Structure 1
Amino acid sequence: MRSLNIILLSSAFNGLSQRAWLELRELGHSPSVVLFTDEEAVCEQIEQSGADLVICPFLKDRVPQLLWSNRDRPVVIIHPGIVGDRGASALDWAITRELTRWGVTALQAVEDMDAGPVWSTCEFNLPQGLRKSELYNGPVSDAAIRCIRDVVDKFIDGYEPVPVEHHPRVMGHLQPNMNQADRTFGWHDCSRFIKRCIDAADGQPGVLASLAGGQYYVYDAHLDSRSGTPGDILAVRDDAVLVATGDHSVWIGSMRRKPRPGEETFKRPARHVLAAQLNNVPILHGSIASSPDTETYQPIRYRESGTVGELTFEFYNGAMSTEQCQRLVTALRWAKTRDTQVLLIKGGRGSFSNGVHLNVIQAAEAPGLEAWANIQAIDDVCEEMLSARQLVVSGLTGSAGAGGVMLALAADIVFARADIVLNPHYKTMGLYGSEYWTYSLPRAVGPRMAEKLCEECLPVSATHAMQLGMVQEIGPRCPDAFGRWLLQRAGNALTDPAYAAVRERKSRLDTQLMQHCRNAELAAMELDMVHDRKQFAEKCRHFVFKRKACGTPVRLVAQWARQRSRTQPLAAAT
C-alpha cells in the first residue's frame, strides 16, 4: 500500500485527533499535525508542506479558501453527523431529540460548511443516557476512525467523492447552532428531561440555570429518587449538590458561575462553587460498602465477586482533586481489609484519570500550595495500591494522561479497553512528575524507554502500550463488555501461569526503593509547583482558561513537514 504524507488540521490535539494520528501511523502513513492558529500561518504551513492529503478530525474554524480550492490535495472534514447533517451542534441536537441512530460523515471542504461532497460515512445505534463527551469519545470517535481509514484507502485508489445531493443515504439537514434558549429547562421539569438538557451541553457550553439565588452553567448530572420543592438544594455528597425537580431530583457535580462583563469563569466542583451557600444543607456521607445504586451520585463504588474486590472511581473529566484523592485513599484502605485476593481498581464511564485537578488548583487562594497538596494526595493513592496485600489489577476503562497513567501502573497488572489513548508524560505542563513514576514506569518498560516516553511527550495507543509492557492485555471496546471481561480476567489472574512472575515480584517489593523514588519526585515537584521553576502556573492557567495555542508543538510536526515549511512558528515546549 502506498504510504501518504497526511496533515491533520485541528483546533486542538484532542482525543480524536490523537487517535487519528496513532491510527495513521500504525497503518504505515506519516501524519503531521497543524493546529489552527491564524489563517495565513495555517495556509502557509500546509501549502509548503507538500502533503498528499489534509484531514480535519476536530476543526471548529472555517477552512480557508486557499486550502479547500486546491483540488489536487483535498481537505476532508470529519463531521459528527449523518449524511446531509450540517451545523456545529450536531451531537447536541441528537441527544436532545433522543435519536436512536446517528453517524459520522467525511466531507470534502468547500465554501459552505459541511456542504461538500461525501467521501465516507459510518452510522451507529445511538445509546441513550450518554452525555455529549461520552458520545463523542465513544461511538462518534469509533465511527470517525473508520471514516478516516476509508478516506485514505479511497484517496489512494483515486476515488471521486459523491456530491451530497446525489448521495443515496441523505437523511440529515442544515441545523441551527443550538443556543441557551434551546437548552433551557426549569427545575419543575422532570429529572430525565433536565439530565438530557445537561448531557447535551456537556463540556461546552453547559446549561445556564438559576440555583441558590445565582446564575450558573451546570454539568455532570446524575438522577436520584429523592424529592422536594423544585429548585431547592436537598443535600451535598462529596463534590455534588442534590437539586429537587418536578418529580424527583438531580445531582449536579460541576458548575461554572455566569461571568460578569469582561470576566472569565471556569468549571469547578459544585460544592466549591456554592461554598457558604451550603452551610445549612444536609451532608450525605454514604458508604462504599453499600450496594451501588444506578440512580444516585456515587463516584466511588465497591462490590465483591468471589475472590475479587472491585473498586470503581469515577471523577468528572478524569481530574482528581486533593479531597477526591483522600476519599479514594480511605476507600482503598477499607477495601484492603476485605477477605479478597484480587483488588480491581477501575475507572467509570469517561476518562480513567488525568492526574491532579488543574481547575481546583487554579481556583485556590495559593495555587502552588494546592498543587503541592494535590500531588501528595495522589501519591498516597498510588502508595495504597503498591502496598496492597492483594494482587492489584488496574482496569483502564478510558484514556489516561500524566499522573493518571502512572496511577494505573502502580498496579501489579494493567488491563486496557481497546483503542484508548495514553499520554505518559508531564513535561508539557512544566512538571517533573510524581505518582511513583520513576519506580513504576521503568519497572514496566525499562529505564531507557521510560525516559523516552517522558521526553517525547507523544500519545501511545493501547496496542503499542501492550507491546511496550505498560499494558498486559486489551479487552473489548464496548464499555459493558469490557466491564464483564475485566472482572473475569482479574479473577483468573490469580492462577494464570502468565502472571506467575508478577505474583513472585509482588512478594519481594523493594519498599526502600519505592520511598526513595517518591521522595526524589516530590523534591522536584516542589520546585515545579511551589517555586514555579518551569512555568507550571502559566501553563495551568492557559489550560484552565482554554487559551488557544500560539503554534503547533514541534513534537507533532513530522520531519517531512518540517523540511518543507521553514517559516511557520512552532511551539517547542507545549
Structure 2
Amino acid sequence: MSYQTIIYTQENSVACITLNLPERLNPFTADMVSEIRDALARVRTDKSVRALLLTANGKLFSCGADLGSGAFNNHEESRGARAGKVMRNSINPLITELHELPVPIVIALNGGAAGGGVGLALAGDIVFAARSAYFYLPFIKKLALVPDMGACWFLQRRLGPARTLALCLTGERLSAEKAEQWGLIQSCVDDAALLTVATQMARQLARLPAHGIIEARQICAVASSNDLRAQLAYEAERQQILFDSPALEEGVKAFFEKRDPDFPGRE
C-alpha cells in the first residue's frame, strides 16, 4: 500500500509510524485508519522489527474523529448507524491491533491528543509527551457523546475511576506535566528533545527478548485482578516455562560475562 496520510519508516529493528495530515490536525480519516492498520500488519509480519515508535507531524498528535468530512453521513442510514459500523469495522480493530502488537510500542506525543486521539496515544506501552502536549476529552461536554477508542479503559487503569470520570465530565485539558505527575505517562520532556528521548527508548526496548513485551503486558494485566495467591501461582507457572527458554540461557551467560545480553529475535 502507498501511504498518503502516514509515513512509515524503519531504522534497524525500530519501525516508526508518523501521522501526517498536520494541516488538518491529523484527524482519523478512513484512509488514515486503513493505512495505520496496514502499517501495523507490516510490523506483525516483519520479524526484523522489534519495537515501534508512533508519533505525528504538526502541532497536534490528533484531533480525533474526522467529523467534518461527511464520513458519518449516509442517506441510506442514520449517523448513529454509520458511526457504529465505522467503530466496529475499523476503529475498534485498530486499537486492539495496536494494543496487542507483538513488539513494544513507544508513543511520542508531539502535541495535543483530543477525542479519539487520547485512546490511540494510550494504546502504546510507554508514552513520552512534549511539554506542550495535553489530553482532551470533549465528548460529553461539547458533543453529547461518550469517549471512544478505549480512552476510558486506558485512563481508568492508570488514573483510577475518580480522575477518569472528572476528565470525561469537565472536558478539561490534562497537561503533559500533570499527566506525568498523575502517572498517566512515562515522562514529560522538552518539545525539542521528544523524538530523541522516545527513539532512544524504542531502541532500548528493541533489545528485549522477543517474548518480553507479551509476558510483561500479561503479568501486569493479571496483577490488576488477581489476589496475591493467584498472582504468585501465575508467576510460578510462567517461570517454570521461561526458565527453560534459550533467552534465559543467553541472559545468564551475559550476566557472568558482564555484558549486555543479545537475545534472539522474533521467530
Q: TM-score, normalised by structure 2?
A: 0.70
Query: Residues 370 and 357 (structure 1 numbering): CA distance in 2 closer, same or farther, change over 3 Å?
Result: farther
**Is 1:457 aligned with 2:163?**
no
Match of 1:568 in 2: none
- The answer to whether the 8 Å contact 2:108/2:194 transfers is no
Q: Which residue of 2 aligns with 1:379?
A: 92
Secondary structure of the corresponding residue to residue 470 of structure 1: coil
| Cα drift, residue 451 of structure 1 | 1.7
Q: Which of 133, 143, 146 does residue 432 from structure 1 map onto?
A: 146
Larger radius of gyration: 1
Q: In the aligned structure 1, how far is the partner of 2:131 from the partner of 2:70? A: 32
Q: Distance in 2 between matches of 1:502 and 1:473?
A: 20
CA shift for structure 1 position 439: 2.3
Equivalent residue for 2:260? none
Q: In the alignment, which of 366, 369, 381 is matched to residue 81 of structure 2?
A: 369
Q: CA deviation at 1:510?
A: 5.6
Q: Say which of 468, 472, 492 aligns to 2:204.
A: 492
- Asked whether the 8 Å contact 2:17–2:36 carries over to 1, the reply is no
Alpha carbons of 1:362 and 1:386: their partners in 2 closer, same or farther (altered >3 Å)? closer
In structure 2, distance between residues paired with 1:321 and 1:370 = 14
Q: CA deviation at 1:485?
A: 2.9
Please name the residue that 1:112 is paired with.
none
Q: Offset at 1:311?
A: 1.2
Give the residue type in structure 2 aligned to 1:485.
V
Separation in 1, partners of 2:177, 2:136: 13
- Give the SS at the match of 2:185: coil
Shift of 1:495: 6.6
Supply the distance in 1 between the matched residues of 2:8 and 2:35 (Cα, whole angstroms): 13
Q: How does 1:181-330 map to 2 (within 5 A)?
A: 286=2, 298-315=4-21, 316-330=24-38
Pick from 360, 363, 370: which aligns with 2:69?
A: 360
For 1:334-391, what per-residue CA distance to the aligned partner results, in whole angstroms no more than 9, with x for missing partners? 1222222211111112311122110124772343333333333222221111111001
Q: Is the 8 A contact 1:319 1:354 kept in 2?
A: yes
- Tell whether the 8 Å contact from 2:16 to 2:54 is kept in structure 1 after alignment: yes
Residues 8-66 of structure 1 deviation map (CA, whole Å, 9 limit, x = unaligned)? xxxxxxxxxxxxxxxxxxxxxxxxxxxxxxxxxxxxxxxxxxxxxxxxxxxxxxxxxxx
CA distance in 2 between counterparts of 1:301 and 1:314 reads 7
* SS of structure 1 residue aligned to 2:31: helix
Which residue of structure 1 lines up, in the alignment, with residue 43 of structure 2?
A: 335
Residue 507, structure 1, aligned to residue 218, structure 2: yes
8 Å CA contact retained: 1:394, 1:408: yes
Instruction: Give distance in 2, aligned partners of 1:345 and 1:404.
Output: 12
Q: Which amino acid aligns with 2:31?
A: E
Task: Please tell me the root mean square deviation across aligned C-alpha atoms, in Å.
Answer: 2.8
Higher helix proportion, which one?
Answer: 2
State percent identity of aligned pairs.
Answer: 24
Matches within 5 A, 1:121-200: none
Partners of 2:5 and 2:32 within 8 A in 1 = no
Aligned residues: 212
What are the equivalent positions in structure 2 for 1:15-94 lying under 5 Å apart? none
8 A Cα contact 2:133 2:175, kept in partner: yes
Corresponding position: 1:417 with 2:125? no
Alignment-derived partner of residue 110 in structure 2: 397
What is the TM-score when the length of structure 1 is the normalising length? Answer: 0.34
State the 1:438 CA deviation.
Answer: 3.5
Question: What does 1:542-557 align with in structure 2 at a 5 Å threshold?
Answer: none
* Structure 2 residue ranges without an equivalent (≥5): 225-267
Give the letter aligned to residue 491 of structure 1.
R
Q: What is the CA–CA distance in structure 2 between the aligned matches of 1:309 and 1:362, rounded to whole Å?
A: 30
